[in-house]
Amino acid sequence: MARLSPEEYHIPVMADECLDLLHIRPDGTYADATLGGGGHSSLILAALGPGGRLFSFDADDVAIERCRQRFHDEPRITLVHANFDAMPDAMATAGRVDGILFDLGVSSYQFDYHARGFSFRLNAPLDMRFGQEGRTAADIMNTASEDELARIFFGYGEDPSSRKLARAAAQRRRLAPFVSTADMRDLVVQHIPPQHQPKTLARIFQALRIAVNDELGRLERTLTSMIPLMAPGGRIVVMSYHSLEDRIVKNVFRDNKDTLRIITRKAIEAGAAEVATNPRARSARLRAAERVA
């Protein structure tokens, strides 16, 4: 497998802000919930001392293999080939947990190069799984009822044409199953005016990806399960990229106000200079909370 630079995989968003909010202890135990190309993990390792530990999670086999190459001589990091909802079990015996960083969403590599159909700009199998288990986006498109498709498109994509596209999808699959990202593009192009197609495509692909990977359910379960494992003073830092994720983070922090102190009363956004060099930082929202004694 050819080497891929961290910058080609994913440019870490708001890296300085994430590290500041984690407030890393040199001898602490930390988790990177979304390893990706290892950008944030490398920054955490640089702040840790010889006695520090880092557990980094990713269901994507490409991300794990790249980071095995990148961190092959680094004994302080443990790479866990699993979705981050495996974190409570994986870290239950690690002693105190001093900090967790969640960089949610999809990496640049997954959008631009991955052959699992995350982007409507590339023709690829309609898969969208981060790992290799569970139903694919094609499975959903070909078997879900019209009502379920509409709920997915609207609930996870907040798209106003959800009902119209669900009806069209149910009619189209009677003729031929959905197989590729091109099939999804054609569905939108045939039923949505040209000026609205880019946003509709982005919303529908987001909705399918969230449904395939149970992204919102995983996030809520993991945040809630990890709070009791945090050491006093330990921090949970979450970077989300759309309102559905951000709402879950706000609600979990608020619902656990007896054990968490919210550090960011308002979400932190990337500065203009960072957005200019890394456009994907535009939608990022950063929140943090600290476990109290």
The pLDDT tens digits for 141-170 are: 999 999 999 999 999 999 999 999 999 999
Is residue 108 very low, low, confident or very high in pLDDT (cuts 50, 70, 90)?
low
Per the structure block, which two tokens stand in for 150?
Answer: 């509409």
The residue that leads in pLDDT, 124 or 287, is 287
Q: Alpha helix locations (H) across 214-271?
A: 215-226, 243-255
The pLDDT tens digits for 218-275 are: 999 999 999 999 999 999 999 999 999 999 999 999 999 999 999 999 999 999 999 9
The pLDDT tens digits for 11-22 are: 789 999 999 999
Edge to edge, the sheet with strand 260-262 lists: 77-80, 53-57, 29-32, 97-103, 230-240, 285-291, 260-262
CA distance 128 to 134: 10
The residue that leads in pLDDT, 110 or 153, is 153
Q: Pairing mode, if any, of strands 29-32 and 53-57? A: parallel
* CATH 3.40.50.150 segments of the chain: 6-103+215-291
Q: Phi, psi (5° rounding) for residue 257?
A: -65, -20
Range name among 6-10, 118-122, 143-147 with the lowest pLDDT average = 6-10
Per the structure block, which two tokens stand in for 277?
Answer: 């060099």
C-alpha separations of 192 from 74, 226, 280 in Å: 50, 42, 25
Instruction: Tell me what the mean pLDDT of segment 104-127 comes to.
Output: 72
* CATH 1.10.150.170 segments of the chain: 110-213
Which one is the CATH code of 110-213: 1.20.1730.10, 1.10.3720.10, 3.30.565.10, 1.10.150.170?
1.10.150.170
Q: Which CATH superfamily is domain 6-103+215-291 in?
A: Vaccinia Virus protein VP39 (3.40.50.150)
CA 157 to centroid of chain Cα atoms: 15
- The predicted pLDDT at position 131 comes to 77
pLDDT at 7 over 50: no
Q: Are 33 and 102 in contact (CB under 8 A)?
A: yes
Instruction: Tell me what the mean pLDDT of segment 86-98 comes to.
Output: 90
- The predicted pLDDT at position 12 comes to 85
pTM of the model: 0.89
Longest CA pairwise span in the chain (Å):
61
CA 151 to centroid of chain Cα atoms: 21
Sheet strands (E) in 106-250: 230-240
- The predicted pLDDT at position 118 comes to 79
